[in-house]
């Protein structure tokens, strides 16, 4: 049950509501985000919602039977739009694009990528500075210095930055240089990291776990929201399956379902979703029609020389072609599907 509280509630009013919901047998969790205050009440007893709904200080009350609450569309029917500043938005029907290399490697690589993005009208650059790698002996990224350099350059171009954070202790150092914190597939259920990101007023893109369920993804998003941060994007990046003809199985079903279950934007990662460069375009477009609100993909000035994920990284030519088609599909969907 979600009790949406009025702004500027007095402590006394808040306590009265908490006491009453507790008397009904519910365990209240007070959630204060950038935007509002909520009581998430966990319990099972039946009662007339108006007994709470009519109280002073209650804006609205909703029954949500899902295992996740605040991220559910059951209480917030309209899709969430995330404002990155400077007029850059993640918004339903607009297909935001986030593109860039797997790893940040050098100033030259960053500049070339920014040039490409600028030319294509892409407003968000992806790249890794802390890289989760299966082997301890692999390249693990340029770290905070790489991020600072990247941020300086990106701001020159007016382009936003999304990059992965791997543990809570990195957040403070990274904060000033990052526009979107990305949580990787290996950390979807790193609950301490999620808790920490809940306390940050910056958007978070949360990837689905390597074999994570849709329900687990939504509950992990609930950690961030209930920690205080409403600005969350969900990301489908393929799941692990028995099939060996490609890297991961892009789960377009999950995109369609996430869009219905949650009000949060859903971003598709076709690079990891199939893991083979030549098919990234097809999977990107398929994801869009399954309902994705945006794309995140890997592109690099010289894909075959990338430090990591070379086999799934697009050339700039392929990236331009994909961008063109994304725009055509988005336009078609806008003109023809929505207004039907």
Q: Contact between 32 and a second copy (CB under 8 A)?
A: no
CA atoms within 13 A on the CB side of 114: 20
- DSSP per-residue letters across 182-227: EE-GGGTT-HHHHHHHHTSSS-EEEEPPTT--HHHHHHHHHHHHHH
Which listed range, 4-12, 80-88, 299-307, 318-326, lies at the site for a second copy (CB under 8 A)?
A: 318-326
Q: Contact between 45 and a second copy (CB under 8 A)?
A: no
Binding mask 280-309 for a second copy (x = CB under 8 A): --xx-xxxxxxx------------------
Q: Contact between 98 and a second copy (CB under 8 A)?
A: no
Q: Contact between 39 and a second copy (CB under 8 A)?
A: no
Q: Are the CB atoms for 27 and 42 separated by under 8 Å?
A: yes
The strand pairing partners of 268, in sequence order, are 236, 295
Find the shortest distance in angstroms from Cβ 272 to a second copy.
11
Which of 15, 34, 106, 213 lies at the binding interface for a second copy (CB under 8 A)?
213
Find the shortest distance in angstroms from Cβ 287 to a second copy.
7
Q: Which is nearer to a second copy, 104 or 110 (by Cβ)?
A: 104
Which listed range, 16-24, 99-107, 114-122, 206-214, lies at the site for a second copy (CB under 8 A)?
A: 206-214
**Cα–Cα distance list, 209 to 129, 272, 276 (Å):** 20, 12, 20
> DSSP class of residue 247?
S
**Cα–Cα distance list, 333 to 11, 56, 89, 291 (Å):** 48, 44, 19, 10
Helices (H), 65-120: 107-120
Find the shortest distance in angstroms from Cβ 241 to a second copy.
6
Task: Round to whole Å and give the CA distance between 193 and 166.
Answer: 8
Q: Contact between 330 and a second copy (CB under 8 A)?
A: no
Which listed range, 3-11, 57-65, 76-84, 252-260, lies at the site for a second copy (CB under 8 A)?
A: 252-260
- Give, as ranges, the residues between 67 and 86 that touch a second copy (CB under 8 A): 67-69
Binding mask 134-163 for a second copy (x = CB under 8 A): xxxx--------------------------
Find the shortest distance in angstroms from Cβ 235 to a second copy.
16
Backbone dihedral angles phi then psi of residue 144, each to the nearest 5 degrees: -60, -35
Task: Round to whole Å and give the CA distance between 259 and 290.
Answer: 9
Q: Residue 114 corresponds to which tokens in the numbers above?
A: 């920014």
Q: Contact between 321 and a second copy (CB under 8 A)?
A: yes
Find the shortest distance in angstroms from Cβ 116 to a second copy.
18
């Amino acid at each position: 049950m979600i009790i949406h509280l009025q702004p500027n509630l007095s402590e006394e009013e808040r306590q009265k509501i908490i006491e009453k919901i507790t008397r009904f047998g519910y365990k209240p969790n007070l959630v204060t985000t950038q935007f509002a205050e909520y009581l998430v009440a966990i319990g099972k007893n039946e009662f007339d919602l108006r007994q709470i709904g009519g109280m002073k200080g209650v804006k609205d009350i909703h029954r949500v039977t899902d295992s996740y609450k605040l991220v559910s569309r059951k209480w917030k029917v309209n899709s969430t739009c995330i404002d990155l500043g400077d007029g850059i938005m993640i918004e339903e029907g607009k297909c935001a694009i986030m593109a860039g290399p797997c790893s940040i490697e050098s100033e030259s690589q960053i500049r070339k990528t920014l040039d490409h993005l600028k030319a294509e009208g892409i407003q968000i650059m992806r790249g890794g500075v802390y890289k989760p790698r299966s082997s301890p002996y692999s390249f693990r990224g340029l770290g905070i210095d790489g991020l600072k350099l990247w941020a300086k350059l990106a701001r020159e171009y007016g382009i936003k930055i999304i990059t992965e954070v791997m543990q809570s202790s990195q957040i403070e150092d990274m904060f000033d240089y990052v526009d979107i914190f990305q949580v990787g597939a290996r950390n979807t259920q790193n609950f301490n990291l999620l808790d920490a990101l809940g306390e940050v007023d910056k958007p978070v893109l949360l990837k689905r776990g390597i074999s994570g369920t849709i329900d687990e993804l939504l509950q992990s998003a609930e950690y961030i929201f209930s920690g205080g941060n409403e600005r969350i994007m969900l990301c489908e990046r393929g799941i692990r399956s028995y099939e060996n003809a490609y890297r991961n199985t892009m789960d377009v079903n999950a995109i369609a379902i996430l869009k219905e279950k949650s009000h949060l934007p859903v971003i598709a990662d076709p690079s990891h979703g199939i893991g083979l460069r030549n098919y990234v375009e097809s999977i990107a477009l398929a994801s869009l029609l399954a309902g994705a609100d945006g794309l995140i993909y890997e592109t690099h000035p010289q894909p075959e020389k990338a430090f990591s994920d070379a086999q799934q990284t697009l050339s700039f030519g392929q990236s331009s072609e994909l961008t063109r088609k994304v725009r055509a599909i988005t336009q078609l969907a806008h003109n023809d599907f929505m207004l039907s």
